Amino acid sequence: MLLDEDLHIAPNCGSCPIRHRAVCARCESTELAALEDIKFYRSFQAGQTLIWSGDRMDFVASVVTGVATLTQVMEDGRTQTVGLLFPSDFVGRPGRDTAPYNVIATTDVMMCCFRKKPFEELMARTPHIGQRLLEMTLDELDAAREWMLLLGRKTAREKIASLLAIVARRDAGLQGQVRQRQVTFDLPLTREAMADYLGLTLETVSRQISALKREGIIELAGKRTVHVPDIDRLIEEAADDADGGMPG
């Protein structure tokens, strides 16, 4: 779809904002140069579907800026989001050629893409890429399993609190902020997208957000901007054990 004209603003890897967290994190300069040779950028607008489930995937990619979702849709339309992609997250699977999920931009998104074939060849020669990808995949697996607990056992209120806590954390992480009591961030998701991620209806999402607001656990400026006066209270509502899922 839509080939954009942003190619000219392509930053080089040295100044890339996700250089030290993405799949290329461990690469040395020669390896990086090889990656740089086969990379290209694409950008997408909020709401665009980047990849359709079942489509042939001829590239893999890293999210550079913005947020996207991975979603599964049943034949009757029931929809479940199975992953949130933040900057540095990886899309696609070496060795598979059709996409298993829809990938949808929920904000404007910039991706750093690699054609799959050359990427796979490079991976075979460059253990650092495979190592980093394994690390990232194991992290994603942990995140998916944490989400299984949420989907299977948490109440609607706990689900909302968990999502807000996670977005707050990732958002803070991107800005390199230390842990602090107060945080403000933008929700990169509509109520419906939240519902799809949490296994709820959008009405329930709206009601629970209203309830958290009413009780002073969050404050809203507009529909999307959230201020959390006391992050520990929010984490308590999420019913996560101890650290609220901070990497141990």
Q: Which residues here bind a copy of itself, judged by CB under 8 A?
A: 70, 72, 74-76, 78-80, 82-83, 93, 95, 98, 100-101, 127, 130-131, 133-135, 137-138, 140-142, 144-149, 151-153, 198-199, 239, 241, 248
Closest to DNA by CB, 101 or 197: 197
Query: Which one of residues 26, 93, 128, 207 is an interface residue with DNA (CB under 7 A)?
Result: 207
**Minimum Å distance from CB 20 to a copy of itself?**
17
Q: Which residues are CB-neighbours of 34 under 8 A, at least 6 positions away?
A: 122, 126
Closest to DNA by CB, 98 or 210: 210
Mapping DSSP to helix (H, G, I), strand (E, B) and coil, where does residue 92 land? coil
**Minimum Å distance from CB 133 to a copy of itself?**
6
**Minimum Å distance from CB 152 to a copy of itself?**
3
Closest to DNA by CB, 26 or 191: 191
Query: With contacts defined by CB under 7 A, how many residues of the chain interact with DNA?
Result: 22
Asked if residues 80 and 71 have their Cβ atoms less than 8 Å apart, the reply is yes
Query: Which one of residues 16, 209, 228, 231 is an interface residue with DNA (CB under 7 A)?
Result: 209
Asked if residues 26 and 70 have their Cβ atoms less than 8 Å apart, the reply is no
Q: Which residues are CB-neighbours of 66 under 8 A, at least 6 positions away?
A: 44, 46, 87, 105, 106, 107, 108, 109, 110, 188
Site for DNA in 24-53 (CB under 7 A): 47
Distance, CA of 15 to CA of 24 (rounded, Å) = 13
Read off the tokens for 45.
């607008």
Rounded to the nearest 10 degrees, what angle do helices 202-214 and 156-174 cross at?
80
157 part of the interface to DNA, by CB under 7 A? yes
φ/ψ (deg, to 5) at 63: -75, 125
Kindly list the residues in this chain that would bind DNA in the complex (CB under 7 A).
47, 155-157, 190-192, 199-207, 209-210, 220, 222-224
